[in-house]
Structure formats: structure tokens, C-alpha cells
Amino acid sequence: MGTENPGRPNFPMRPSFTPFASAPPTVRPFSPHGPATGPESSNFRPSPPARFSDPSVPSPPITSVPPSGVPYQRFPTPPFPSAAQAPPNRAPPVGQPPFQPPASQVSVPPPSFRPQTQALPVPMGSPPQNANFPPSSMNAPQPPTDSSLSGIRPNFQQPFPGYPSKQPAGSYGPPPSVAANLGYQSRDQMQHPGSAPPIGGVQRLTEDFSSLAVASIPGTNDPALDNRSLPRPLDGDVVPSSFLEMYPMNCDPRYLRLTTNAIPNSQSLVSRWHLPLGAVVCPLAEAPEGEEVPAINFSSTGIIRCRRCRTYVNPYVTFTDAGRKWRCNICSFLNDVPGEYFANLDATGRRIDLDQRPELIKGSVEFVAPTEYMVRPPMPPLYFFLIDVSISAVRSGMIESSLTQPQMMVVSDLDDIFVPLPDDLLVNLSESKNVVETFLDSLPSMFQDNVNVESAFGPALKAAFMVMSQLGGKLLIFQNSLPSLGVGRLKLRGDDLRVYGTDKEHILRLPEDPFYKQMAADLTKYQIGVNIYAFSDKYTDIASLGTLAKYTGGQVYYYPSFQSGIHGEKLSHELARDLTRETAWEAVMRIRCGKGIRFTSYHGNFMLRSTDLLALPAVDCDKAYAMQLSLEETLLTTQTVYFQVALLYTASCGERRIRVHTAAAPVVTDLGEMYRQADTGAIVSLFSRLAIEKTLTSKLEDARNSLQLRIVKALREYRNLYSVQHRLGARMIYPESLKFLCLYGLALFKSVPLKGGYADVQLDERCAAGFTMMALPVKKLLKLLYPSLIRIDEYLLKPSAQADGFKNIMKRLPLVAESLDSRGLYIYDDGFRFVIWFGRMVSPDIAKNLLGPDFAAELSRLDIIVGIQHIQDLLQMLAMINVALTEHDNEMSRRLMKILKKLRESDPSYYQLPYLVRQGEQPREGLLLLVNLIEDQMGGTTGYADWITQIQRQVQQN
Amino acid sequence: MAWDLIFWVLCFFINIALLASSFYQLLSLSDLEADHLNPFEATTRINSIVLPDFLLQAFLCLSFLLTWHWFMFLFTLPITAYHLMLYLNRKHLLDVTEIFRDLNTEKKYRFVKLAVYLLLFTVVLFRLLSASIFFFFAWKFEELDIRTSLFY
């Protein structure tokens, strides 16, 4: 609460300023029509007392006057007995110009509004902050100040007339200091249509809403929307940082991101926040060098946990009673400190051994779990390969290429790998390496003459399950054809055109045979995680096969039309990644949160073991899980809510561990604040998962529409917050934090799982992309939705190699066709592949250097390439192109390879295969690149500017 | 006479079985919710009695039709139709992988079923009593011949 006070002394000063309010022209340095400056913005936080619905405040008139900005949350106070005084105050101003700035607070020193130390957990029951505040001083000056606002806004209070009376006078208590503080920024909406964002001294005050002029100029048909002015996430995913500054002990956002870093305090607030409310968790996210999660061994004391709610000890617990007790931050239960863990408290109430206790200062820690946390002794990691050897698999070369990989693995991950032998025995790799190698060598030849087109997938899966059920582990399935024999056989159902657009459409995206769901459940039960590698160019029913991965915490790798010559490299890298990345075995994950809120739904690749326990037989750094929360109580009384993610798992070294991430977030009473603290990345991640789930129960179109509706509703709600005191006209307004929401929404519309209809994407591809996106961490998802497009020819042509030049060239361009200059060379990178685009006029030098003389000549003869229609030819062409892109002995080629390597290193979860495409080369160019320029209008889809206009139109239709 | 009584006794027991099955399913679901039961076990338990439950209910409905008890038949018809719909859509069994998502709807559905069965139970009980009274005491009233006014 401390920070409130600095602002307080200003109140008595108001009377001296009030005269100005009645004589606007004289005070107009801060005229509303001028550029909004810092002090000006502060005008609109006239009545902090109104926020302090603290009953102890004897200041009825103030509280009855809604402050500017967001009146809704301040209603709790009106019903004070003395509210009778208020009406006279309120009455006169009704007719006043709504934009009259209450000049009285001009002098409020902006710096005092910055949230400072109170970011740390504030002890409960902070003293009523108004004690030293003379109530009388607030009464008199108020009317002119707030009149302009109260006059225009009484209708907003209507819906909640009886609301405040529901709260017991004491329980509402002093509002959270943090929330109140944030509220200050919320007040600065004095920006007027057309005015530039305030450039005042206080940077936080500039956090205003942003706006876009959408209306067309009267009389013309040109939309006034300037394509260049539209917001674009060209810096990639930017995590809101203010939040981390506020709670420095929170875990890093790469582990846990909330969709809004301001938790609403009431259900009515939740219902007006139309975006998903929840979190995206990536418990094992890769930490950069030096920021690894510390491991702690509590061998003597046992892991310190709250006795009531089982929360793990974390930086936000408070020690009391001279260090003998600690209070759980989640349930407020007072626990005893075990003898061995005891430490004295210093004068400020901090433990003296704080710096030796990482669990008390870091948001992410790892505890070594004793035997109570094991159902059974840790099992050795087990990898089981289930390989389809039907003729199509042999023909594509899949067997050959995939199986050279385990031999490589022998080198990198020696002791623990198991590989099956044909007689269904598991062997220890280090003991029988030779046998395995011989087997692997002989496998391709063994099935060389196989002409069997059938695939007995189900029985093989059952056999694998039986072998593995003792140990658990990871099952890698290499499937090249539709399972056609025995249990779990599937029909060719994907090519049925008539089903599309009907109510039965979604059934195609669901597993056909209940066998797969049942099998997935059984696999999870026995701690077996499944990864599917699918290769076929024909329909393989990924929807059914992928189910196995979905409910066992695995993922689906899909290589349509696999040819070992082309995709072999990709497969071997991704398989290597799959086998070598840090994997957590037999894991369960739970997320706890404070009283009054509850996580109600979970979205991602896992299976729920109980209402809030995620079972994850194998989990790694490339998997993220999203969850939505809801309020259980109508009103939250705490100031801060805490979240704690706990992942109990067996590390590959055989140690049982618990990884704990803790985060705190303030509770707010202000809808505007929720919007301002929103995290677009997490919202988009949740949106994508919800939309993909929706495609499993309804039509694609319905999924898209419901997504659009939510975006529109959210923007409309936000607009309503401001539409009264600002003439917004046809401008589109949105909080700065959500400036990319529309664009990502559009990108989702055009993403593989959601776009178009039957003809736009092959069913298998759609399903595979859906499974992939359900597991992607936020950063990678955003990159997939809005890939980077980088121009590199200048860098390649630069005379001298500058090491630092690399950063400079990584300038992302908007994804529009205009970004492509026919004299340039571009890399398009969506995290899954590279497309290297050669402009038509690119200097032949570059082509020659990069591709070698033979191919450059080929490339220049455009007609040959254009003539390619047949898919097989196209594939061969692809193969040739990829072979061509090897390092040549010249500087330019080396540099290109360096760029590719750098880009790959920045995103190692998938191996990006380069595809070369030349401008004007159809249909390749269209398929590979143009269709992915999501801001462009392509075959029936909307362009970015049109999309914004469309959204804006819907926002305005109330 | 005797047939009527036997029929109602049969209905009575079938009804009790249906009630028990519904109750058991509900109990399993609440156990699952309270984490006393894991989803694998809960679904196995429930799914194993879903079909017998459906068959029994269908049998009851059919027997009402065949014995010309119009009111009772119409009373049980909606549930039978609903069961049939579920069965034809292959949605009658619980999906172990998504059970927590469907938990609330499944519980509601079973609550409604339980309520309907309870209502049916009272009606059947009444019919059973009247049938037995009629059967055991009919000879007393035979001369008076008031049964028409009493029971028909």
C-alpha cells in the first residue's frame, strides 16, 4: 500500500486548482486537444480514494464519484450511508463537456505511480492507508474534478446497483496495493483521437491504448488503413517484461506464461474478459547456458511442503514466529519448520540463510525426490522401435534411412538405450551392441524382396505393448501405410469429398476405431509414450494414429511423400533430437493455484489421470501444455494469487525429481488492467488449442468463426471502456499488449489445421499439423504462425565477413508479396523448414556461387522448371535442388550455410530442410511460399488490412 | 390374474436392477471426480455394465408394449430411444482418454436417468401393490364385484 501514499498528499491541493476547471482556456497547457503529455495523462487519475473501497475511509462523496477510466470496478463503495451528500455534487456537471480534463491533478508527480517495492508479497492486513488523510479535504474539491466523468457515465453503474452490498464491509479490505498501483496507469486514457501517444516523462504512462484508423475517407473507397502502419511482430515473441520486474522471484516466462498477468477478482470481470483466461506451461523448457534449474537435495529433512495443500516450499512463503513456522502462500496454512531446516530470521523477517537456499529465492527449482515419490524404482529409459516393413516403406527408403540413426545414437547416449530384437526381447545396448548393429544392417536386406502391401499395425502395436509394459518407455512407430490387417485396421476414409461441409466432417479428424483410444489409455497406464513417424504419400489416417501420440504425451512427425534422398537428413536429425533431448520419464504434472480459483480444463498432448493431474509417460523440452482457469468464488479477497507447477519425473540418469515453478500474479479489479497486462503469446497459444479441439467436434468454419467471435468480443469490450470519453469514431482501439492479436488470429485462420476446406490441405497433413500445434511451446507456435522472412543477398555480397553483421541481417520483413524484391534472395523460416527464394533478377553470380555452376544454369532456364507438372517430377526436382544446396568452396556459399546453421541452432526442435524456389516458378512458388505470406489476400482468404476492417466492423456492430 | 402379478414382480426387480446400475455408475463417476478411483478403472467398471443396462431397459420397455401397458410404455420410451441413439452413434461407452472433459455431462445424464427410474419405481411399486392386493384379496371381493371400480 505504501505507494499509494505518495499520491495522497496531492489531494489537498486540488482545491487550489479547481478554479481552472471552470475556466478551461486559461489552464489549457494541458488541453485535451493538444498532444497528451505526461502530466496531462495524470489528469485522469483523479480519485485514488475511490479505488480504496476500504470501509475505513470516511470519504463518502469521493467514493460515490466514479473515477475516470474504468468505473466498473470501483462501484463497491457507493452505498455508504453518507452517500446522500454525493448527488448535489454530481448533479451540476452533467452538462459539462465530457472531455474537460480535470485539471486539478495536474500536479500529481508521475513518478510516484510506479510500482516499486510492493511487488514483493505484501504481508496480509496492511494498515488502512488512509489513516492520515483528512477526509474533509477530499470532499470539497471533488465535484469539479470528477464531474465530467460522472456525468457521462452513470449508465455504467446501473448493472451493478446491488453489488457492493453483497460484500461484507470488512472483507473487501484494502485493495491490493499492486493492483491499485497498476490502476494508475490505467487512468491515463486522456489520449484523444488523433493525438500522438503521450510522450511524457513517465514511460509507463505511455502505455495507452493503441489505435488504428480504419474508416475510409468519406467519399472515397480507399480504406484509410495504411498497410505499413499495421502492427507486426517483427521482433518475434516479446514477453511482457513489466510483470517480471514486478515479481522478480517468479519463474521465467519460458516455463509458465499467463494469458493475462492480472487476475480478475470477480466472476463478472471474468465474463467480460472474452479471451481465454489461463496459462501455458512448458515445464522442461530449455534454459540458456547458466540459467539451469538448480537441483536441491533435501535428503535429511524430506521435501518441505505445506501440510494442507501440498504446495512445495517456494520464494513466496513467509517465515514467522522467529523462523519456527512458515505460512503457505497458496492456502495460508501455518506449517512448522522442521528442525533441520530451521534458520533464524533477521530484522526484516528474512531467513539469514536465504542465499544458500535456492528454493527460497528462485522461482524454478528441482527437488530430488525420495522414495515416497516413487510408485516403483526408476526404470531404465527404454526406446522401442516399431517399423513398418511393407513394400511402400521399403520402396521409399524409409527403413534404410531411419535405421542408420540408432547406430548414431549408440555413440551419443550409450548405456541406456534398448532396442528390440525380432524375438521380442529387450536387450541392453551396451552389452549387445554388435547384435543390434548386425540386425540393423541386415534389416533393409531382410525385407528387400518384400512385396507385402498390408500392414498389421494393430497386432504389432499390441506385441510392442506387451513387451514394454514391464518397463515403460518410449515407443517410436514408423508407419508408411494404412494399417490394414488385424485389430485396429482402418478404412480409406479421407478422400470422401461429400463429407466436407456437412455435420459429419469432423469425424474424419477423429480416430475411426475406438481401439486407438483404448490403446492410448493402456499405453499411458503402463508409462509408455508414443511418437509417430508417418511417411506415406497416401492416406495413412494420421487422425487415428496420432491419437496414440496425443494421449501418451508424444508427438507426430509427418513426412509426406518421404524419399530418403530428400527427407533423410531431416528424419535423421529429428530422430536424433527425439532420442537425445532431455526426456523426463513416468512424469505427472499438477498445477496448483490459490484459493478461489481453479484450473478447469487442460489442452495439449497428455492424458488426465485425475481432475487436475496430467499423466505424461515421456515429456521433454518441446512440449507445452495449456490450461484454463475459472473463479470458484464470486469475489477474490486476496491481493495476489500464486501458481505452482510441479512435475514429478524420472530423469534419464535414473533419479526421481520434482521440478517446481512458482509464479505470482496480482489480483485486479479493473478490466482495463487485465487487457493491459495481457500476454498475446499465451492467448494465441490457448486460442490455437481451443480452435483445433473445436475442429474435432464441429466444422472448420465453426471453429474459425468462434475464434473470430471471441477476438471481436474482446476488442468490443475494450472499446466500450473508452468509447464514452473519447470520440473513437471509426478507429480501432486495442491495448498495446494485444496489438498482434488480430494478426495472429488471421494467421491461425490460415494455419494448416484450420484453413480453408477440403481442397486446401490434405486431411493427413491437417491432422498432423493439429497434433503438432497442440504441443508447441508459445515461442515456436508464434514463429510458425508468423514466420520470419529475411533478405540475405546483401549480406552474402558484402565484401568482408563481419561477425557482428549477423545480427543486423536478421531483420524480419512483413509477410507480404511486396516484401519480395526480384533482385533479392530471401529466407523464409517457420521453424519447420526453410524456403529460399531467388528473385528473378538475382545476380547470376549469387546463384552460381550458391548452387554450383550446373544447377545455376538449370535455374536460369526457367521454362524447364515451369514445365514441371507431374508430382513425381516435382519430387525429383526437389531432390535435385536440395542436393544442390551443399556447401561450395566459396565465401558466399559458406556464409549461406552459416546463416542456415545459425537459424537451425536458434530453433533445434525440428530440422529445417531448405527448399529452393525461384520467382515465378509455378506451382512451387505458390505452394511453398506465396500461400504462406499470410498478410496477402490469396484465393478466397482475407488480407491483413481487410481482416482488420472486417474485425473493426464487427466490433462496432453492437 | 397370477400372470399380472408375476409381470409386475418382474418389472419391480428389473427396475431395482436399473436403479442399482445407475446408482453404481454415478458413484463411480463421483469417486473418479474425488480421485478415489483412476480413470482406467472407473471407465472399465462403468462400460462393463452399460450394455446390460441398455438391454434390460429395452426389455422392460418392450414388455410394456407387448403387455399393452400404454402409459408405462410411453413412460420408458424416451430413455430407450436415447439409449438407441447413443448406441447407434457409438457414444454409449465412456471415453477413458477424455473422461474428465465429459464428466459433468455424463453425471448429469445419469442423474436424469436415476430420477426417471425412481419415478418409474414408484409407479411400478404402486402397480405391483395393486396387483398383489387384487390377487390376494380378489376372492374376498369376488361376490361384491367392485374390482372394476377399484382397479380398472
Domain CATH number, residue A927: 3.40.20.10
pLDDT top residue among A914 and A173: A914
Residue A360 has pLDDT above 50, yes or no: yes
A874 lies in some domain = yes
Which of A57-61, A326-330, A378-382, A660-664 is the least confident region? A57-61
Residue A876 has pLDDT above 60, yes or no: no
Number of domains in chain A: 3
Which of A257-266, A406-415, A428-437 is the least confident region? A406-415
Which of A13-27, A585-599, A876-890, B79-93 is the least confident region? A13-27
- Given A581, A601, A629, the domain boundary residue is A581
Helix axes of A398-412 and A564-580: crossing angle, nearest 10 degrees? 30
**Which chain A residues have a beta carbon less than 8 Å from that of B32?**
610
A490-506: average pLDDT: 74
**Which chain A residues have a beta carbon less than 8 Å from that of B95?**
517
pLDDT of res. A692: 94
Which value does ipTM take for this structure? 0.83
- CA A836 to each of CA A467, A561, A790, A917: distance values in angstroms, whole numbers, following the listed order: 45, 21, 10, 6
| Backbone φ and ψ of A512, nearest 5° | -75, -40
d(CA B36, CA A504): 37
Are B32 and A610 inside 8 Å of each other by CB? yes
Residue A773 has pLDDT above 60, yes or no: yes
A387 in the same domain as A356: no
Give the pLDDT band of residue A149 (cuts 50, 70, 90).
very low
| Backbone φ and ψ of A780, nearest 5° | -70, -35
Which of A192-201, A488-497, A656-665 is the least confident region? A192-201
A341 in the same domain as A478: no
Are B96 and A521 inside 8 Å of each other by CB? yes
Q: With 0-12 CB in 10 A as exposed, 13-18 as middle and 19+ as buried, what is A943?
A: middle
**Which chain B residues have a beta carbon less than 8 Å from that of A613?**
35
d(CA B46, CA B53): 10
d(CA A738, CA A233): 11
* Cα Dmax for chain A: 98
**Which chain B residues have a beta carbon less than 8 Å from that of A525?**
40
Of A491, A400, A502, A420, the residue nearest A460 (C-alpha): A420
Digit-coded pLDDT (tens) for A529-566: 999 998 887 888 899 999 999 999 999 999 887 777 77
Phi-psi region of A213 (alpha: psi -120 to 50; beta: other; left: phi over 0): beta
Give the pLDDT band of residue A958 (cuts 50, 70, 90).
low
A451 in the same domain as A334: no
- Among chain B, residues having any CB pair with chain A shorter than 8 Å are 32-33, 35, 38-40, 43, 90, 93, 95-97, 99-101, 103
**Which chain B residues have a beta carbon less than 8 Å from that of A610?**
32, 35, 38-39, 100
Strands A656-668 vs A263-264: parallel, antiparallel or unpaired: parallel
Per 3-state DSSP, chain A is made up of helix, strand and coil in percentages (nearest 5) of: 40, 15, 45
Residue A236 has pLDDT above 50, yes or no: yes
Secondary structure of residue A625 in the 3-state scheme: strand
pLDDT of res. B59: 94
A201 lies in some domain = no
**Which chain A residues have a beta carbon less than 8 Å from that of B43?**
521
Q: How high does pLDDT run on average in chain A?
A: 71
Of B35, B38, B96, the CB nearest to A518: B96
pLDDT top residue among A724 and A592: A592
Phi-psi region of A895 (alpha: psi -120 to 50; beta: other; left: phi over 0): alpha
Of A520, A521, A611, the CB nearest to B35: A611
**Which chain B residues have a beta carbon less than 8 Å from that of A521?**
39-40, 43, 96-97
What CATH number is attached to the domain comprising A477?
A: 3.40.50.410
- Pick from A124-128, A202-206, A471-475, B17-21 the range whose average pLDDT is largest: B17-21
Phi-psi region of A729 (alpha: psi -120 to 50; beta: other; left: phi over 0): left
d(CA A939, CA A930): 11
pLDDT of res. A102: 41
Domain that holds residue A489: 383-581
A443 lies in some domain = yes
Size of interface A-B (CB pairs under 8 A): 34
Helix axes of A741-749 and A680-695: crossing angle, nearest 10 degrees? 30
Are A514 and B93 inside 8 Å of each other by CB? yes
A389 in the same domain as A468: yes
A455 in the same domain as A402: yes
Digit-coded pLDDT (tens) for A217-229: 444 444 456 667 7
pLDDT of res. A670: 87
A416 in the same domain as A346: no
Of A47, A38, A36, the residue nearest A10 (C-alpha): A47
Of A514, A601, A609, the CB nearest to B39: A609
- Pick from A4-13, A80-89, A614-623 the range whose average pLDDT is largest: A614-623
A350 in the same domain as A425: no
pLDDT of res. A400: 43
Rounded to the nearest angstrom, the minimum Cα separation between B7 and chain A is 39
Residue A420 has pLDDT above 60, yes or no: no
Digit-coded pLDDT (tens) for B95-119: 888 889 889 999 999 999 999 999 9
Are A62 and A139 in contact, with CB atoms under 8 Å apart?
A: yes
A527 lies in some domain = yes
A219 lies in some domain = no
A412 in the same domain as A312: no
Are B97 and A521 inside 8 Å of each other by CB? yes
A513 in the same domain as A479: yes
A771 lies in some domain = no
A554 in the same domain as A523: yes
What percent of chain B clears pLDDT 90, i.e. is strictly above it? 59
Are A608 and B38 inside 8 Å of each other by CB? no
Of B40, B45, B3, the residue nearest B25 (C-alpha): B45
d(CA A889, CA A897): 11
pLDDT top residue among A814 and A810: A814
Which of A176-180, A394-398, A518-522 is the least confident region? A176-180
Of A471, A669, A583, the residue nearest A52 (C-alpha): A669
Give the pLDDT band of residue A165 (cuts 50, 70, 90).
very low
pLDDT of res. A562: 78
A472 in the same domain as A344: no
- Cis peptide leading into A197, omega within 30 of 0? no
Digit-coded pLDDT (tens) for A65-88: 334 433 343 334 334 444 334 333
Which residue carries 448533479 as its cell?
A: A91
The single-letter DSSP state of residue A360 is: G
Residue A493 has pLDDT above 80, yes or no: no
**Burial track A850-889 (b if 16+ CB lie within 10 A, e otherwise):** bbbeebbebbeeeeebeebeeeeebbebbebbbebbeebe
Rounded to the nearest angstrom, the minimum Cα separation between A855 and chain B is 52
Are A517 and B96 inside 8 Å of each other by CB? yes
- Given A581, A603, A637, the domain boundary residue is A581
pLDDT of res. A495: 64
Amino acid code (one letter) for A368? V
What CATH number is attached to the domain comprising A344?
A: 2.30.30.380
pLDDT of res. A197: 38
A914 lies in some domain = yes
A476 in the same domain as A340: no
d(CA A631, CA A597): 4
A652 lies in some domain = no
B9-24: average pLDDT: 94
Rounded to the nearest angstrom, the minimum Cα separation between B97 and chain A is 6
Residue B53 has pLDDT above 90, yes or no: yes
Query: Which of A608, A630, A696 is the best residue to mutate to test the B interface, defined by the most B CB atoms within 10 Å of its own CB?
Result: A608
A761-768: average pLDDT: 87
Query: Which of B44, B100, B104 is the best residue to mutate to test the A interface, defined by the most A CB atoms within 10 Å of its own CB?
Result: B100
d(CA A24, CA A477): 76
Around A379, how many Cα atoms within 13 Å sit in the side-chain half-sphere?
A: 22
Which of A241-250, B31-40, B86-95 is the least confident region? A241-250
d(CA A335, CA A367): 19
Reported as type and span, the H/E element at residue A643 is: strand A640-650
Around A706, how many Cα atoms within 13 Å sit in the side-chain half-sphere?
A: 17
Of B38, B97, B100, the CB nearest to A551: B97
Of B35, B43, B90, the CB nearest to A610: B35
